[in-house]
Chains A and B, each alone.
Chain A
Amino acid sequence: MKLLRKQMLDGNVQTMLLAILEAGPSYGYAIVKDLNTRAKGILQLGEGTIYPVLHRMEEKKLISASWRNAENGRERKYYRLTAKGRRALTANCQQWRLLTSVMKEVLGPAAKRSPEVELKGAAI
């Protein structure tokens, strides 16, 4: 089992959160659950560490937030994607596609020679 290095993820968590919120408004715990489901257990993230990222995204107006009452009566903060966030997601996805395609081209035979690994997880 191999560990996905944290440095490989730096800067990409924001894009992952934008992608999750593209599906519709959501709140912290649900976002974490969704992220874990989509990542199929490859990411092991400190759940509390997504809040600083969400708050920074809110400051940058990539997402907006509103408080609503949850079914259990507690107040809950919901996040939704803004137009600026949607544009950022599109741009980041393009960058990501470019990076993966250039890596594939450059690594070429070297990538094929390296054995397949089972990813264990990455701490964020």
Chain B
Amino acid sequence: MSRALQKYLDHVMAYANRKQEDAIKIRTELEDHLMQKIADLEAQGLPREDAIFQAIEDHGTARTVGYGLRKGFALLDVRTEGTARGFVAIGPRAIGVIAFGGVAVGLFAFGGFAIGAIAFGWLAVAALISCGGISLAPMGAALGLAVLGRIAIGMVAGGGLAVGLWVPWAVDRVSLLGGDDGLQFLQHFRTFQSSVAVVVIISWLFIISPFLTGVMGAIESSEHQRIEKADPKLAQ
């Protein structure tokens, strides 16, 4: 088999990232397809080299074909293009239990636009805790610049207990511009439940979230290294 064909299949399989036993079968199937295509093109009068490159071109880019061949919902799915789906999903769009991406949907979601039980992003929508630029958690705690939540802490805050510079709407409010004594807002955290909520929020912000972000970054970097190992040009 030609080197160009070998290389193409290597790239496809690097992106497919399947277990060895599955990878062998998939590769055999694709190889059979490409060899037949080359034979057909040669029979039509194309020189062998041209036939090989034509067959590869007609087959599709290694990344498109390889990503398509990934497992439906893997333990870990890291992609540089398209939607990653997995228990841990990392990609431009990510759907998973732990999702990390431009658009992230998951139990724990981190991203530009994040939706989850716990979400962290520029626009974060969460059931329990949301944190970000615009942060919405109607039934939980929201932190950020503009926030809405049962406990809402931000520049502009609204909801149940809302703490902010401007509190346009709240059941119980502390507006730092509205004439309240800033220190008085501490009285709102005297109850046990409020204290627990504060501990959870602080832990999330300063311990759990940085830790998970670091782990996700490390996983993403190792995926890039794996692809780069298959071919340095692919990682560029």
Contacts and interface: CB of A to CB of B under 8 A. Distances in A.
Interface of A: 27-29, 32, 46-49, 51-52, 55-56, 59, 67, 70, 72, 74-77
A75 B32 contact: yes
The 4 closest A-B pairs by CB, nearest first: A46-B60, A52-B68, A48-B65, A48-B59
Given A49-B60, A52-B65, A77-B28, 7 more contacts: A28-B33, A29-B32, A32-B33, A48-B65, A72-B35, A74-B35, A77-B25
B217 to A, nearest CB: 28
Contacts of B65: 46, 48-49, 51-52
A109 to B, nearest CB: 40
Contacts of B12: 48
A43 B229 CA distance: 35
A74 B31 CA distance: 10
Contact of A27 (B26, B32, B61): B32
Interface of B: 12, 25-26, 28-33, 35-37, 58-61, 64-65, 68-69, 72
Given A46-B65, A51-B65, A77-B25, A70 B59 contact: no
A51 B33 CA distance: 10
Contacts of B25: 67, 77
A28 B60 contact: no
A78 to B, nearest CB: 10
Given A46-B64, A70-B32, A74-B32, A52 B69 contact: yes
Q: Is the interface of A mostly helix, strand, loop or mixed?
A: helix
16 contacts: A27-B32, A28-B32, A28-B33, A29-B37, A46-B58, A46-B60, A47-B59, A48-B65, A51-B29, A51-B65, A52-B65, A74-B28, A74-B32, A74-B35, A77-B25, A77-B32
A77 B29 contact: yes
A77 B28 CA distance: 9
Given A46-B64, A48-B59, A48-B65, A59 B33 contact: no
Given A28-B33, A48-B30, A51-B65, A59 B60 contact: no
A56 B32 CA distance: 20
Q: Which residue, A51, A59, A70, A76, has most C-beta atoms of chain B within 10 A?
A: A51
A75 B68 CA distance: 22
A28 B59 contact: no
B69 A29 contact: no
A67 B24 CA distance: 13
A52 B18 CA distance: 13
Contacts of B32: 27-29, 70, 74-77
B72 A46 contact: no
Contacts of A48: 12, 30, 33, 59-60, 64-65, 68
Contacts of A70: 32
Contacts of B61: 46
A55 B59 contact: no
Nearest to B31: A74
Contacts of B59: 46-48
Given A29-B37, A74-B35, A47 B58 contact: yes
A32 B59 CA distance: 10
